[in-house]
Amino acid sequence: MNDTSKIIKTISAIMFPFVTIYGLYVIMHGHLTPGGGFQGGAIVASGCALLVVAFGSEAIAKKVKESDLSILESVGALGFISLAFIGIATTFFYNVLAGRSGSLFGKIPPFGSNPGYLNSGGLLPLMNFAVGTKVIAGLFAIVLILAIATRKKGGRT
Amino acid sequence: MSFDVISHSPALLIAIPLFGAFFTPVISRLHAKVRDGFVIVVIALTEILAIFLAQDIYTNGIRKYVFGASLPSLTRPDTISIPVRIIFEVDGMSIFMVLISLTIALVAAIYSTSFFKKEDGLDRYYTLLLLLTVGMLGMELTGDLFNFFVFLEITSISSTALIAFWIDRGESLEAALKYIIISSLGALFVLMAIGFLYGQYDALNIAALANSIQFTFIDKIALVLLLAALAMKAGIAPMHMWLPDAYGEAPPSVTIAIVAATQASLYAVLRICFTLYGSVIGMSTIGWLLIGLGLLTIFVGVTMALIQKSLTRTIAYAAVGEIGYMIIGVGTALAASTETFASVALKGGIFHIFNDVLDIGLLFLVAGAVIYATNERSLENLGGLARRMKYTTIFFLIGLLAVAGMPPMNGFASKILIYESTYQLNPIISIIAILSSILLLAIFVKIFYSLFLGPELPNLKDVKEVPTGMLIAMSILAIVIIIIGLFPGYFMQNLVEPAATALSNPSNYINAILGGA
Amino acid sequence: MIYNIPYIAVMLLILVGLYAVIAKRNIIKIIMGISIIESGVNLFLVALGYREGGLAPIFTNLPEKTQIPGQLVLPVPQALTLTSIVIGVAVLALMLALAVQIYKHYKTLDVRSVRRLKE
């Protein structure tokens, strides 16, 4: 019986939402404070790895199929490329949403130190979301597949 | 809508295969054939775009592309005096290497559609193949040193995963592990050298660095680190150890893509020697160093190819030898930079890059056809295949003549330029080169005899000719080889001369970014 | 002298990592050696951007009336280091997956007994 004790399972299940919320906060505020797509995605993936360690890879593999994570990863990647293609009339990766005061994320913040406006940055927060999705799916898939492949008995090749 | 495709084409050359790479898992849910067709269409579209861009560069000069600016050519916005943003700069040499990489990727994709019989995970294979294409194109198009490092790592990660594609064979896994460890060490040293150069000059753009570089002690350390790591990735002896393992154990359609990736690293060596350090380097020191390494590479490649027993490993060592020819051509051009034969040597070396990729590629595809038909890799268990695989025999004959430098194949055209120019520098160099060519001819004639002629072995009785997709891929390479062999002057004038002129004039490269708007 | 300490630490890390890659026999230890070298190179890149008496380059955190960009630490090497860390994660995952497959195939992690491609 190699299960972890009940204390670990309960506390991991309680901590997981808080870790996820913190990770999503880091992703969302990527254009104002340190953080962004990869950093926030790594935090959420650490929360998912906590679940894999606490509950065992068999229990998690029953709930999360590897093909779902693959789809999520492709969605993130395609979202990033499509966002880069939007401004192709000017240049590739051109920030079309920045500086137009009506649009989504369009406000121009004043120069110099300021309390930070979430509504600014143009395409950058959207790209942060796409990269964050991809990183969450990718790192969770890596941890889950390595855990499944190194099981003591069986284990997928 | 006046959307000028040509002015956006450097970005589209990266964007279209990247989009195709991430779209492949989605489209492979429909049917396998749809996925194969989609991959081939994506690479063919990119190649057509590259041909149009090449015509534009040969008439209009260097094209630059600034990512995220308000105009594609706005390198210095708002009276800032240094170039900002990531800039792609395409000159004659870059577009030459881009055409080589795309041709090889297209042939690899066509070959792969009929090579794999019932493998699992083929959609990931095609994703990785397209990512490898993106990495190679990025290495050849970029004008920014850190961007080059990122594409270098993309190429090595995709190559490793492709080398280890047949995970049931222990040798493939071992070759992939060796490749990734050596490759990531090399890339980390490249990153350290980029850090040195950035700390000194506060610029990452190649043109801006080339403008302000002085040859201080730290720059010399950075040059040594860059040359050592990139020469290791290009397969130059004595750092060539990963090459026979990686080329010999990967699936053959992957091997020709990795050959093209090796040439992209060789392009990076040329770019650093000629453009980045172009105005301050001691030409004859580096030239003689390259000639020495090139002779060592030829010697190691050809002599180790004599004793191999596996078909793909022999061709891999021959590939190592051929890289030596390119290096002695370039080294002669650097060492004797004031003589008239220097430009001939440079043209010979650059032309040999193109010819060698085609020849070694054709040989690897033939080896793949033999493995597909007979499931045997060792030369001792194969024999008498000419009766049943006629087309494959003809393709091997063409590849053999081309690698050994016999007329009327393309190898002759580039090798005679190298022989002529190195003879005038020092006769011993060209004597070693000619003797090695003859030795390569002997090795491959022996392989041809033992593989295709001779009595038929009893365990190879029901061997059939390979399917059409593989034959089409091999015939594309063979036709290009014969055409280049028959009309070398046309290709020299229109492809190689712009590349050689672009390399020898670093000031054009610098002025395109810093001089104008 | 005190501002040279990060660079001395970089050299020590790279030497330790190189020793692990060259002299150790276990595949996992070789992979750890590459990870140590990578930490050293990342530290080098971050340490390049330091300016004495500088503040962190985050607009929402600066006190009023700071000179931009005179009193800030350079932000470009931080972006380079971030990219390098991401690439390092991907390479590490790939190397570990290969190590798992090699173990399943050969039932050992000793590099010298996995070697079949010798000449």
- Spell out the domain ranges in chain B: 282-486
Domain C2-52+75-114 indexed as CATH 1.10.287.3510: yes
Instruction: Give B 46-75 residues with CB within 8 A of chain A.
Output: 65-72
Q: How many residues does chain A have?
A: 157
The single-letter code of the amino acid at A152 is: K
Residue C68 pLDDT exceeds 90: no
Confidence of residue C32 (pLDDT cuts 50, 70, 90): very high
Confidence of residue A157 (pLDDT cuts 50, 70, 90): low
The answer, for A74 touching chain B at a CB cutoff of 8 Å, is: yes
Confidence of residue A134 (pLDDT cuts 50, 70, 90): very high
**Which member of A113, A139, A150 has the closest CB to residue C66?**
A113
Per-residue model confidence (pLDDT) at position C119? 67
**Distant-in-sequence, close-in-space partners of B80: CB < 8 Å, separation ≥ 6:** none
Q: What angle do CA A119, A120, A125 make, to 5 degrees?
A: 85
Q: How many residues does chain C have?
A: 119
Q: Which two tokens stand for residue B451?
A: 């593989």
Token pair 């090798």 is found at: B415
What share of chain C has pLDDT > 70, as a percent? Answer: 98
The answer, for A92 touching chain B at a CB cutoff of 8 Å, is: yes
The answer to whether the CB atoms of A38 and C82 lie below 8 A apart is yes
Per-residue model confidence (pLDDT) at position B1? 43
Ordered alpha helix ranges (H), A29-114:
37-55, 57-63, 66-86
Instruction: Calculate Rg over the CA atoms of chain B.
Output: 22
**Which member of A113, A145, A146 has the closest CB to residue C59?**
A113
**Beta partners for B378?**
B310
Ordered alpha helix ranges (H), B63-144:
92-115, 122-141
Residue A41 pLDDT exceeds 90: yes
- CB of A145 closer than 8 Å to CB of C93: no
Q: What angle do CA A48, A49, A50 make, to 5 degrees?
A: 85
The answer, for C5 touching chain B at a CB cutoff of 8 Å, is: no
The answer to whether the CB atoms of B164 and C101 lie below 8 A apart is yes
What share of chain A has pLDDT > 90, as a percent? Answer: 49
Which of helix, strand or coil describes residue B169?
Answer: coil
The answer to whether the CB atoms of A81 and B70 lie below 8 A apart is no
Dist CA B62 CA B66 (whole Å): 13
Q: Which of B320, B286, B287, B328 is nearest to B429 (CA)?
A: B328
Per-residue model confidence (pLDDT) at position B268? 93
Which of helix, strand or coil describes residue B90?
Answer: strand
* pLDDT (average), residues A124-128: 91
Burial of B191 (0-12, 13-18, 19+ CB in 10 A): buried
Instruction: Give B 163-202 residues with CB within 8 A of chain C.
Output: 164, 167, 170-171, 173-177, 180-181, 184-185, 188, 191-192, 194-195, 198-199
Token pair 């990686």 is found at: B246
Q: Cα dihedral sign for B258, B260, B263, B268?
A: negative
Distance separating the N- and C-terminal Cα atoms of chain B: 25
- Residues of chain B neighbouring C31 (CB-CB closer than 8 A): 181
Q: Tens digits of per-residue pLDDT, B47-95?
A: 999 999 999 888 888 888 888 888 887 778 777 778 888 899 999 999 9
In the complex, which subunits touch A with 3 or more CB pairs below 8 angstroms? B, C
Average pLDDT across chain A, whole number: 87
Q: Which of C57, C48, C39 is nearest to B200 (CA)?
A: C48
The answer to whether the CB atoms of A81 and B71 lie below 8 A apart is no
CA distances from C57 to B106, C51, C76 (A): 46, 11, 10
Confidence of residue A142 (pLDDT cuts 50, 70, 90): very high
**Distant-in-sequence, close-in-space partners of C54: CB < 8 Å, separation ≥ 6:** C71, C72, C73
Per-residue model confidence (pLDDT) at position B215? 86
Dist CA B165 CA C101 (whole Å): 12
**Distant-in-sequence, close-in-space partners of C42: CB < 8 Å, separation ≥ 6:** C81, C84, C85, C88
Top residue of C87, C102, C118 to mutate, by most chain B CBs within 10 Å, is C87
**Which member of A74, A93, A94 has the closest CB to residue B22?**
A74
Confidence of residue A156 (pLDDT cuts 50, 70, 90): low
Residue C26 pLDDT exceeds 90: yes
- Residues of chain A neighbouring B65 (CB-CB closer than 8 A): 91-92
Other beta carbons within 10 Å of B494: 12
Least confident of A132-146, B142-156, B368-382: B368-382
CA distances from B94 to A62, B64, B263, B345 (A): 50, 12, 12, 19
Residue B2 pLDDT exceeds 60: no
- CB of B413 closer than 8 Å to CB of B484: yes
- Residues of chain A neighbouring C97 (CB-CB closer than 8 A): 145-146, 149
- Residues of chain B neighbouring A85 (CB-CB closer than 8 A): 15, 19
- Residues of chain B neighbouring A88 (CB-CB closer than 8 A): 3, 8, 11
Asked whether the ipTM of the predicted complex exceeds the cut of 0.85, the reply is yes
The answer, for A77 touching chain C at a CB cutoff of 8 Å, is: no
Q: Tens digits of per-residue pLDDT, B436-482?
A: 999 999 999 988 888 888 777 777 777 778 888 888 889 999 999 99
Residue B493 pLDDT exceeds 50: yes
Dist CA B451 CA B102 (whole Å): 31
Average pLDDT across chain B, whole number: 89
Other beta carbons within 10 Å of B33: 9
Other beta carbons within 10 Å of A9: 16
- Chain A residue with CA closest to B29: the answer is A71
The answer to whether the CB atoms of A113 and C93 lie below 8 A apart is no
* pLDDT (average), residues B162-180: 91
- Residues of chain C neighbouring B314 (CB-CB closer than 8 A): none
The answer to whether the CB atoms of B173 and C98 lie below 8 A apart is yes
* pLDDT (average), residues A56-74: 89
Top residue of A80, A113, A140, A151 to mutate, by most chain C CBs within 10 Å, is A113
- Chain B residue with CA closest to C32: the answer is B181
Distance separating the N- and C-terminal Cα atoms of chain C: 49
Per-residue model confidence (pLDDT) at position B278? 79
Residue B315 pLDDT exceeds 50: yes
Dist CA C90 CA C93 (whole Å): 5
Q: Tens digits of per-residue pLDDT, B17-38?
A: 999 999 998 888 888 889 999 9
- Chain C residue with CA closest to B165: the answer is C98
The single-letter code of the amino acid at C90 is: A
CA distances from C14 to A47, B174, C42 (A): 31, 25, 11
What share of chain B has pLDDT > 70, as a percent? Answer: 99
Least confident of A67-81, B75-89, B99-113: B75-89
Top residue of C98, C101, C107, C112 to mutate, by most chain B CBs within 10 Å, is C98
Per-residue model confidence (pLDDT) at position B148? 95
Q: Tens digits of per-residue pLDDT, B380-411?
A: 888 778 778 888 889 999 999 999 888 888 88
Instruction: For residue B28, report the phi and psi dihedrals to the nearest 5 degrees.
Output: -80, -5
Q: Which of B134, B308, B158, B327 is nearest to B239 (CA)?
A: B327
Residue B517 pLDDT exceeds 60: no
Query: Of C16 and A106, which is predicted with more confidence?
Result: C16
* pLDDT (average), residues B295-312: 90
Q: Which of C42, C32, C34, C39 is nearest to C77 (CA)?
A: C42
Dist CA B431 CA B413 (whole Å): 17
* pLDDT (average), residues C27-55: 92
